[in-house]
Amino acid sequence: MLEKCTICPHKCGIDRTKYLGRCKSGDKIKIALYSVHNFEEPCISGNNGSGTIFFSNCNMNCVYCQNYEISQQGKGREITIEDLANIMLEEQEKRVENINLVTPTSFAIQIVEAIKQAKLKGLNIPIVYNTNGYESVETLKLLEGYIDIYLPDLKYYYNKLGKEYSNIDNYFEVATSAIKEMYRQVGIPQLNENGIMKKGLMIRHLILPNNMENSKKVLKWIKENIDNNVYISVMAQYFPTYKAKNISSLNRKLTKNEYEEIENYLYDLDLENGYIQELGEHEEEYVPKWDI
């Protein structure tokens, strides 16, 4: 499949055994960090943390990416499928709540093989697919049965924002189709006796400054098109970084008024489940230090 790659919606068709694709990935898995992460949503991190694996490279080019050093600049190190399987098992030994695959899209096929190997060696905790949402339905179908929890972003309702901020032409149509497929596979969240998600879909949305209507449209789409019991995580952690520092519409954090506008709208929609992140002051501190 990697010899004529159509893993993600770009379908660039390049031979990744010889060249780098649109996502800057070849056929080798590349990661920047694996660690116990305690700053995901409560039903993901729990008390023991999430066994997070950060993959390098990305099929989007978000100008405000907080992880730009690995997603856009490609920092990281190459590992084998067997290495990835062993990392999953090593994380499990730390008694984490789950294995959390961050920006996994480019390596989806290799990840399936790693999960197969890890399960044969005793991996038995949930697998989280933590994605920007720009996913191919065909690839997601290959993941069915291997992924327990889908954690996609739904960034944009307006495709002009997707083009301007992430260099993607058709984000909304692609991401919403992908989310519907994720929902078909895993359904609404199922929690264990400790309130930790063991299966299901949770949709994330990052509020961007000066783009309140975009956030409202995204939330309304979820309300009208996905089960009302699905979890939504509305994030207020935006801060200007990477190229966004020099873009006038993005070069500041959210205001209190913007935050309250989306908070009030969220409650007006009467969505059943989820989280809204508090408006903080030191979001930069939560960006991982990359283990390069």
- 191 belongs to a structural domain: yes
- Look at residue 106 and tell me if it is in a domain: yes
The residue with greater pLDDT, 284 or 206, is 206
Q: What is the pLDDT of residue 150?
A: 98
Structure tokens, 130: 């933590």
Residue 235 lies in a domain: yes
Closest Cα partner for 196 from 243, 156, 231? 231
Both tokens of residue 167?
């260099």
In this prediction, residue 83 carries a pLDDT of: 98
* Secondary structure (3-state) at 120: helix
Cα 69 → chain centroid: 16
Q: Does some domain include residue 291?
A: no
pTM surpassing 0.75?
yes
Enclosing domain of residue 55? 2-286
Please return the burial class of 42, using the count of CB atoms within 10 Å of its CB with bins 0-12, 13-18 and 19+: exposed
Encode pLDDT of 141-199 as tens digits. Answer: 999 999 999 999 999 999 999 999 999 999 999 999 999 999 999 999 999 999 999 99
Residue 292 domain flag: no
pLDDT at site 77 = 96
Q: What is the CATH number of the domain that holds 127?
A: 3.20.20.70
68: confidence class by pLDDT, cuts 50, 70, 90? very high
Q: How many structural domains comprise the chain?
A: 1
The beta-strand segments (E) located in the chain are: 29-37, 50-55, 77-79, 99-102, 127-131, 149-152, 190-191, 197-206, 231-235, 273-276
Strand runs labelled E in 193-292: 197-206, 231-235, 273-276
Predicted local distance difference test score (pLDDT) of residue 158: 98
In a domain, 172, yes or no: yes
The pairing of beta strand 50-55 with beta strand 29-37: antiparallel
Confidence of residue 290 (pLDDT cuts 50, 70, 90): low
Nearest to 166 by CA among 98, 227, 242: 242
Looking at residue 279, its pLDDT comes to 86
Phi (first) and psi of residue 141, to 5 degrees = -65, -30
Residue 238 domain-assigned? yes
What's the whole-number mean pLDDT along residues 115-126? 98
Q: What is the pLDDT of residues 95-105, one digit of tens each?
A: 999 999 999 99
Q: Does a structural domain hold residue 185? A: yes
Cβ atoms of 279 and 261 within 8 Å: the answer is no
Beta strand 77-79 with 29-37: parallel, antiparallel or unpaired?
Answer: antiparallel
Q: Which of 263, 267, 246 is nearest to 254 (CA)?
A: 263
Residues whose CB is less than 8 angstroms from the CB of residue 56 and which lie 6 or more positions away in sequence, other chains included: 25, 30, 31, 32, 70, 71, 74, 75, 76
d(CA 238, CA 223): 23
pLDDT at 121: 98
CB 76 within 8 A of CB 32: yes
**pLDDT at res. 289:** 72
Q: Do 242 and 64 meet the contact criterion of CB atoms below 8 Å apart?
A: yes
Residue 291: what pLDDT? 62
Confidence of residue 19 (pLDDT cuts 50, 70, 90): very high
Q: Bridge-partner residues for 53, per DSSP? A: 34, 101
Which residues make Cβ contacts (< 8 Å) with residue 18, sequence separation at least 6? none
Query: Would residue 72 be called left, alpha or beta, if left means φ above 0 and alpha means ψ between -120 and 50 degrees?
Result: alpha
